Each structure stands twice: as C-alpha cells, then as structure tokens.
C-alpha cells in the first residue's frame, strides 16, 4: 500500500469512527455494535503506526491521552467568560425580569436551561477542527487543558461544518461514574471526592491526560463565544446550530414568553431533578435575542441579560462546638461556627459562616446549640437557625471581643456597616492576608508563594509588606523549613517575573476595596499608567465604563493615603511595572500596521520578548494572535527551536518572520 492509498483509507476510517462516536456519545443512538467500532479503531491504529506521517492531533485514535504535562499554560479568552448573577427565590427572579423590562420593554422572550453542576470550559475550533480547550479561570484568563478535553468522547474533534468558533460548555461527571470512581478510590485507600462537580474539576486539572481519560467525563455545550461567517440572531438559534454541527447540547431547554412560564419550568425541574443521571443545581434564564442581549450589556462581573436561579439548599442539623474569629485583608473580623462534621449537599462541612455579630444576637446563637446548616447556593455553608427545643441549659451565649484577636487593637464599627473592623494597618492578620491576595493567581500570579510560605516569611520577619517580596535574598530563604536551593531559586524567579505583569494585575493585587479583577482591567485600559489613575478625580473615574460612585470613592480614598503613595514609589524603584501592556492603539493607527487584520501565530522561544509581550504588541497593531497554524494563518513569528508549527507554516507557504524581523517591524511602526 502506498501513502496515497493509506491516506484515503485512514480518512475513510476517521469519518466512520467520528460518525459512530457521535451517534453513541452525543445522540445516545449507536448504529453499530461495540465490537465493530473496536475493529475499525484497531484498523486505524495499525495504519497510523505503519504511516506515522499521516497521524493528526484530531484523529479518533488520539483520545486516550497523550504524555503527561509539566504544567498548564495560560490562555486568554477572546471573549470573556463572565459569571452569572444569582436569584435564590421567586421575588429575586421577578426583580431580574423587571430590570430587563425597564431596559428593553416587553417584547422579548427567555430561554431556560438546566444549570449543570460541573466545570465551565471554552473550546476553540478552526476550519471545524478542535485546536484548544481551556478552563474558565478568572473569566479573562484560563488554563490550557486541551489534552484532557480530547479524552471526552462527546467533544467532537472535527465538526460537520468547516467553521471558526469558540464555544462554551459545562464538563460534568455522571452520577454513576462518580459512584464507581469513589468505590475504586476507597478500595485503593485514597481520599474520596465530595461530589461529582469536584470529581470533574479534579479530573480536568490532572497533568496526566490518561487519568482524565479514565474518569468517564461528559459535556453539554450551552453557548457561542465567538463565530465567523455565520448569521445567528438568538440564543436558541445558537443552540440549534451547535447541535447541527455535532455538539452535544442538553435537550431540556425551553423558550418562555413570560416570567410566569419561567417559574413553571423551574418548579417542574425542581421536582424532577433527582431523575437525571447528572447533577443540576438550578436553572439558567437568558434573554433569547442576541441584539437585545447587546442592548442590555453587562456589568463588571456578569451579563444583565441572564441570571441563574439556584434551587433551595439542602438543610441539616448539627451541633455548634465553638466560634472562631478570622481577620481578613480589609480588617473585617468574621465569626465562623466550628461544627460537628455533617454532610450537606454531598460535602462534609466542619465550619460555617456566622457573618457578623448582629446575626449571632438576632438568632440567639450559643456555643453548644444544635443548629440548622445549609449551603447558600449549594456553595457557602451557613448557620440559618437554632433548634431551641434541643437546648439543655448548658449552652453558652457568645459576645464578640472588644479587641482584635490577632493584634489586640480596639475593634470599631464604621458608619453604615454591621461588621467589626481592626483598623490597625500593621495588624499581622491583615498583612498576611493582603500578601496572600497579592501573590494569588488572579493578581500578581507568583507561583510558589502560597498561604503557608507567606505566613512563614512573615513570622520569620523577612517580609512586612508587599514591597519586601522584591527584596528577598536566597541565603535567608534557604534557612526556612522546606526551602532548599531549587525551591528558593524558583520562588525568586517567580517574584522577578511578576515585575513584568501588566498594570491590571498590580491594581487587583493591591486589594483596593470594591476593585475586582475585571474592574482593575477596565481601569488599566482606560488610564494606561498608575500615575494617570492616581491623578483622576471621583467624577473623572465615574466617566469610565462600569466604574460607579462607590468604587470611584474607594479608589480616591485609597490613593490619598501617604503610606500607599510611599508603597507605590517603593515598588516602582524595585522595578515593578506600572503601565498597562494590552492593546491601546486607535483604529486609525492599527489600520496602518502590517499586522492589521492578520491572523498571527507565535512559535518557538523568543529572547527579546515574553510571549505575552509579543502577543500584546501584535494585538495593539490590529492583529489577532491564534494558537495553531491553518490555511487561514497570515503570518508566523518563529523564535528558536520552533517545531511543528513552523513546519506546517512552510508546507502551507505562509509568510514567516524571525524575531529580528519582528523587532524591526515594531521599531519601524513605532
């Protein structure tokens, strides 16, 4: 058999296997016995072994899982994956409906879908071929889990239509698979997963794809993030399109003309949910028309055109053993109930929120009480009430202390707030919590600088504030427990890399009250430098999209503090970047660029740029950086040790630019 005959046979086998796979895992209507599928698969594998040059990443034979990864790479979402607002009762849902009607009138309809309790992911396709999959992450940046997602057989590797799109879905573990997995783990003496959602998330974040392949995960696709050359006018049209090209879409969705119809749909599924072979924790309600979604727009955190109705939480009784206090990075002192362990909504709960002193007094909660526990939105455990009939007389009333449990400073209650605060800026608990936040993944992303390391550094007096992180010395680090030569080097390198972060990460890391990751990015894009941000008045800040009065006031108050000004200057002197590195050029400037409107792929090791810097430079000049080379790629920028992407570009006769040429083109355009 020559290579042309082999290629023809291989393509036929792949088409057959893809169709059988779709019938079995998506339609649940297999047309051939398992033995026939296995026979064809073995035939394909033998041909690919005989002609390895014909193996492609999206061959059905590649679903078993590749080589283990060293770490997950970061992926920036082309369109942000915003989280949904929640409604926990009928009144909150009707309030959502009223807000929608106030903005767009009464001529619209909703789409209701089951809220799958799993892990949100984004899948990218070019010319109908699956090229990349990622986690939601912070909504802006996720992690590349392509290898693990390929092991999910209900995810098509090749679509029925050659289309470019990003789609969003929910990966989940069926109930039966979850029970079988925990049985295996119990026999092997391993820790059991608390619920199917945790099991699915843990499986997708395995560095070894073969482990993910063994977990029998599944997926439902629920939305389109981005699509080229297709006319889709509504969310319901989008669901039908996804199904038509080969995606698995949950069939239990419905268009509803009124909020009363929505409530009927919700009530029906609250009763029927136990009959499903997967977990759901509510219903998602979306305005159907995409034009009306655009008109409604979004807030900094969530779309105004959608909400998630969360089913009432499971409630159980247990004993409150003690009350613990914690001090957060903003100084709020939060009481937490220490409980006799109890299972709530599939998770073992040992601690639950008591929120504040007023709630403890209002509910007359005492140490030793039998209390009702529930999970708010099936996520956060909280104490809802006391079972007074079970009191024996030995229960102890509780009063919040007058002084901070960490530093001893007098606690105060600010006007209009119920929370007690420690206002001592040198409080160790606040400092350590602030340092942990600064180093976190969504902020400065300093790998290796977790909670225990921060506490160790602080307790050994090596750091007192975030500026001290950039003054750490290897010799002192190596004296700490579990900090050898390699660990010390890795931590110092991670700290050094963080200096190059774009401004939005620094702003979020500073912990300014009310400024989350999305708002930090909005501020950075608008102001470009931290000095420009500091100079803005409250009124000027409120002119920035999605920045309201409360946030503007908080920003101005924060930067008015002399100690904050001193900290910013110290960070600047230590080499921490104070500028926004994203795309900021005007449309006119972009149109003159050689990158304008071009699809660009970066490959190999770049010595003059970090990958994010090169990507930002291309995007600032109107280019679009993609992750794989295809016939639609216009330009490949190749560094050292460029591999298969460079080879593919040469085969397709795509223009290739080395790093020196890339640098020269940037210098020429300014």
Catalytic residue from among 115, 518, 615, 645: 115
Order of all β-strands in the sheet with 110-116 = 85-87, 306-310, 280-287, 110-116, 254-256
CA 130-133-139 angle, 5° bins: 140
Cβ pair 490, 497 in contact under 8 A = no
Query: Which tokens is 414 given?
Result: 């600010």
Cα 670 from Cα 665, distance rounded (Å): 8
Three-state secondary structure call for residue 126: strand
Cα 546 from Cα 561, distance rounded (Å): 24
CA 263-264-266 angle, 5° bins: 60
Residue identified by tokens 């072979």 is 277
Cα 411 from Cα 408, distance rounded (Å): 9
Cα 24 from Cα 41, distance rounded (Å): 15
Is 46 among the catalytic positions?
no
Describe the crossing of helices 196-204 and 175-187 by its angle, rounded to 10 degrees. 80
> Which positions ≥6 away from 525 have C-beta within 8 Å?
504, 580, 582, 584
Three-state secondary structure call for residue 321: strand
With b meaning 16 or more CB within 10 Å and e meaning fewer, what string describes 506-517?
Answer: bbbbbbbeebbb
524, 534, 518: which is closest to 501 by C-alpha? 524
Cα 548 from Cα 551, distance rounded (Å): 5
Cα 79 from Cα 657, distance rounded (Å): 28
Active site residues: 115
């Amino acid at each position: 058999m020559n290579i042309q005959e082999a290629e023809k046979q291989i393509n036929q086998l792949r088409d057959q296997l893809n169709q059988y796979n779709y019938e079995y895992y998506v339609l649940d209507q297999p047309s051939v016995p398992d033995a026939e599928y296995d026979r064809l698969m073995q035939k394909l594998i033998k041909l690919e072994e005989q002609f390895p040059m014909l193996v492609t990443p999206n061959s059905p034979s590649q679903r078993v899982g590749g080589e283990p990864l060293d770490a997950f790479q970061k992926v920036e979402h082309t369109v942000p994956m915003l989280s949904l607002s929640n409604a926990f009762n009928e009144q909150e849902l009707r309030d959502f409906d009223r807000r929608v009607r106030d903005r767009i009138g009464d001529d619209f309809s909703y789409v209701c879908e089951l809220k799958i309790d799993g892990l949100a992911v984004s899948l990218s396709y070019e010319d109908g071929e699956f090229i990349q999959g990622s986690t939601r992450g912070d909504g802006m940046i996720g992690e590349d889990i392509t290898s693990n997602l390929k092991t999910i057989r209900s995810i098509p590797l090749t679509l029925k239509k050659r289309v470019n799109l990003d789609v969003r879905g929910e990966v989940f573990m069926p109930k039966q698979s979850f029970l079988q997995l925990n049985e295996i783990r119990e026999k092997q003496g391993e820790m059991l997963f608390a619920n199917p959602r945790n099991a699915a998330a843990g499986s997708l974040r395995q560095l070894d794809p073969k482990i993910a392949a063994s977990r029998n995960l599944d997926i439902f696709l629920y939305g389109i993030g981005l699509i080229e050359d297709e006319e889709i006018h509504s969310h319901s049209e989008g669901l039908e399109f996804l199904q038509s090209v080969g995606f698995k879409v949950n069939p239990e969705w419905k268009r509803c003309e009124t909020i009363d119809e929505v409530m009927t749909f919700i009530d029906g599924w609250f009763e029927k949910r136990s009959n499903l072979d997967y977990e759901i924790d509510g219903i998602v309600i979306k305005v159907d028309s995409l034009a009306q979604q655009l008109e409604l727009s979004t807030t900094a955190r969530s779309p105004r055109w959608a909400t998630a109705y969360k089913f009432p939480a499971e409630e159980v009784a247990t004993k409150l053993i003690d009350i613990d206090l914690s001090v957060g990075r903003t100084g709020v002192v939060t009481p937490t109930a220490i409980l006799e362990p109890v299972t709530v909504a599939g998770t073992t709960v040992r601690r639950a929120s008591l929120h504040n002193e007023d709630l403890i007094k209002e509910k007359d909660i005492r140490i030793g009480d039998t209390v009702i526990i529930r999970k708010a939105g099936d996520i956060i455990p909280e104490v809802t009430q006391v079972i007074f009939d079970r009191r024996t007389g030995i229960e102890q009333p509780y009063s919040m202390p007058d002084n901070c449990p960490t530093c001893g400073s007098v606690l105060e209650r600010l006007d209009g707030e119920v929370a007690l605060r420690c206002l001592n800026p040198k409080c160790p608990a606040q400092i350590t919590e602030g340092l942990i936040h600064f180093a976190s993944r969504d902020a400065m992303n300093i790998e290796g600088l977790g909670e225990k390391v921060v506490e160790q550094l602080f307790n050994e007096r090596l750091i007192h504030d975030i500026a001290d992180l950039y003054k750490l010395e290897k010799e002192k680090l190596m004296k700490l427990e579990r900090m050898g030569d390699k660990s010390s080097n890795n931590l110092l390198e991670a700290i050094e890399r963080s200096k190059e972060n774009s401004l939005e990460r620094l702003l979020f890391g500073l912990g300014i009250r009310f400024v989350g990751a999305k708002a930090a990015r909005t501020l950075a894009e608008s102001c470009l430098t931290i000095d420009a941000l500091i100079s803005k008045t409250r009124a000027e800040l409120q002119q920035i999209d999605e920045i309201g009065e409360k946030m503007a006031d908080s920003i101005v108050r924060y930067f008015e503090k002399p100690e904050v000004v001193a900290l910013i200057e110290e960070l600047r002197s230590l080499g921490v970047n104070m500028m926004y590195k994203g795309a900021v050029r005007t449309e006119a400037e972009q149109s003159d660029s050689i990158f304008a409107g071009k699809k660009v792929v970066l490959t190999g090791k770049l010595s003059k740029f970090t990958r994010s810097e090169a990507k930002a430079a291309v995007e600032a000049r109107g280019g679009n950086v993609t992750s794989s080379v295809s016939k639609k790629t216009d330009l490949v920028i190749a560094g050292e040790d460029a591999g298969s992407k460079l080879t593919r570009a040469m085969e397709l006769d795509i223009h290739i630019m080395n790093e020196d040429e890339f640098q020269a083109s940037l210098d020429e355009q300014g």
